[in-house]
């Protein structure tokens, strides 16, 4: 009987099952041990216990996972957590300050801009990111630039109302 011996090929790189990652989420630096292929979305929901960010399609098509990274909106299902080290990640849980809702959060309530609410965190984070981009001039711009966020309930008119209210654009319902 012979015994095979296995010799590791030093030219072959093996990925670690997990590795330490530090993420700054809503102003707090947090440490994780994550597989390098963990998406930012899964890191937030499964490991940071921040369930506000929603998983819809998990394919970059619905916008429900939208968060802000250094103030820019991003589909968190399409980026790896490890790619966001050193950046400022803001989720829906981080928008309120000192117990006061972000103006867009308040406007969504005031305008009844949700039904089931599943898409709402992504809609609000996306709207904040859109405002940071500074490209909106008209109500049509709002509709176009928010088109990456899908609402299964069809709450779009009230979502647009809420955003226009905060951006002080003309009432979209006014002919
Ligand atoms: S869950 Fe990320 S875009 Fe749909
Ligand atoms: S409010 Fe239900 S998906 Fe938008």
**pTM score over 0.95:** no
What structural domains does the chain harbor?
A: 19-94 (3.10.20.30), 103-167 (1.10.150.120)
In this model, does residue 1 exceed pLDDT 60? no
pLDDT in the model for residue 173: 67
* Residue-wise pLDDT tens digits, 109-158: 999 999 999 999 999 999 999 999 999 999 999 999 999 999 999 999 99
Q: Which residues pair with 75 in a beta bridge?
A: 66
- Per-residue pLDDT band at 175 (split at 50, 70, 90): low
Any ligand 2 atom below 6 A from CB of 108: no
pLDDT in the model for residue 49: 97
CA of 6 to the centre of ligand 2 (A): 55
Any ligand 2 atom below 6 A from CB of 135: no
Atom nearest to 58 CA in ligand 1: 1
**Residue of minimum CA distance from atom 2 in ligand 2:** 116
- Per-residue pLDDT band at 15 (split at 50, 70, 90): confident
Q: Edge-to-edge strand order for the sheet containing 28-34?
A: 28-34, 19-25, 88-90, 66-69, 72-75
Q: How far apart are CA 171 and CA 7, in angstroms?
A: 71
Helix (H, G, I), strand (E, B) or coil at 110: helix
% of residues, the chain, pLDDT over 70: 95
pLDDT in the model for residue 10: 79
Nearest ligand to the C-alpha of residue 118? 2
Task: Of 143, 144, 124, 140, give the one whose Cα is nearest residue 132.
Answer: 124
pLDDT in the model for residue 66: 98
- Per-residue pLDDT band at 8 (split at 50, 70, 90): confident
Q: Are 170 and 139 in contact (CB under 8 A)?
A: yes
Average pLDDT for 30-45: 97
Task: Of 51, 56, 87, 52, give the one whose Cα is nearest residue 72.
Answer: 87
Average pLDDT for 162-170: 95
Gyration radius from the chain CA atoms: 20
């Amino acid at each position: 009987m012979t015994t095979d011996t296995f010799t590791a090929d030093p030219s072959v790189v093996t990925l670690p099952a997990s590795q330490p990652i530090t993420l700054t989420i809503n102003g707090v630096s947090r440490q994780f041990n994550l597989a390098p292929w963990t998406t930012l979305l899964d890191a937030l929901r499964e490991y940071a216990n921040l369930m506000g960010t929603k998983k819809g399609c998990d394919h970059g098509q619905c916008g429900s996972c939208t968060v802000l990274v250094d103030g820019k909106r991003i589909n968190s299902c399409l980026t790896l957590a490890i790619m966001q080290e050193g950046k400022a990640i803001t989720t829906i849980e981080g928008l309120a300050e000192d117990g006061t809702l972000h103006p867009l959060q308040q406007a969504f309530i005031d305008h009844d801009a949700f039904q089931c609410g599943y898409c709402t965190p992504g809609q609000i984070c996306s709207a904040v990111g859109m405002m940071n981009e500074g490209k909106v001039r008209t109500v049509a711009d709002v509709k176009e630039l928010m088109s990456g966020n899908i609402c299964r309930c069809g709450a779009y008119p009230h979502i647009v109302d809420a955003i226009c209210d905060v951006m002080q654009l003309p009432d979209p319902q006014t002919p």
